[in-house]
Amino acid sequence: MSRKEYVIPFVGLKTGNHVFEYDLSDSFFEGIEDSIIHRGNVHVRLDLEKKETMLVGIYHVEGSVTTECDRCTDPIEVEVEGEYQIVYKIGGGDVSDDEALVILEKDAFEVDVEMNLYELVAVSLPLRKIHEIEDCNQDMIALLEKYVVNSLEDDEDDEDFDDDDFDDDEEDSDNDDDFDEESDNDIEGNNDNDDIDPRWSILKNLN
């Protein structure tokens, strides 16, 4: 059951722009089933434009939340920030596969933005949510060092990946191509050589 403060009765709104503001606290995230966010202090401003057949919502997200560290699974606080657009189309029809498009029934008179608020905060999380190595759960770090094939030090080295290394690989690849081309020329270009390896002659006859 949605909480009423996140339901907007748009039928009573005039055509044009309207502003709604939400302060999402711990109780908001605790009310979301299977939430990956445990606590939070996030301000969301919704600029909602009402048109004849749709609502266009611009969500501005800013604040901080507590989730799990991707490395040790202990709680970690991270900053969240972003701006997103969601279009609410009125008139029914097929369910949209576009996450930025919500289809409302033809007779709908209100829109529930609770899950939109949660999902937009969730997608604002950084891709990697990890403590500084010294702040991680050291018991978990010890287990990872013991059982994970690539050590945490290797993982940190990956973050410092140098594009020059990639360029060197490309140069080596180019050199390999030159070598292969020369090898092909050696095979195909020595047809007039009387000293050709007899094994190549046998293979040519098979063709």
Tell whether 87 and 187 lie within a shared domain. Answer: no
Q: Is residue 40 part of a domain?
A: yes
**Residue 100: partners with Cβ closer than 8 Å, 6 or more residues away:** 84, 85, 86, 87
> What's the pTM value of the predicted model, to 2 decimals?
0.69
User: Number of structural domains, the chain?
Assistant: 2
Q: Is residue 198 part of a domain?
A: yes
Q: Which of 82, 105, 130 is the last residue of a domain?
A: 130
**pLDDT tens per residue, range 45-90:** 999 999 999 999 999 999 999 999 998 999 999 999 999 999 999 8
Q: What residues are paired with 59 via a beta bridge?
A: 46, 84
Q: Which residues of 91-103 are buried (b: 16+ CB within 10 A; e: fewer)?
A: eeeeeeeeeeebb
Q: Is residue 140 part of a domain?
A: no
**Residue 118: partners with Cβ closer than 8 Å, 6 or more residues away:** 28, 29, 32, 35, 37
Tell whether 18 and 104 lie within a shared domain. Answer: yes
Tell whether 50 and 122 lie within a shared domain. Answer: yes
- Residue bearing the bigger pLDDT, 165 or 76: 76
Q: For residue 68, give its domain range.
A: 4-130
Q: Is residue 185 part of a domain?
A: yes
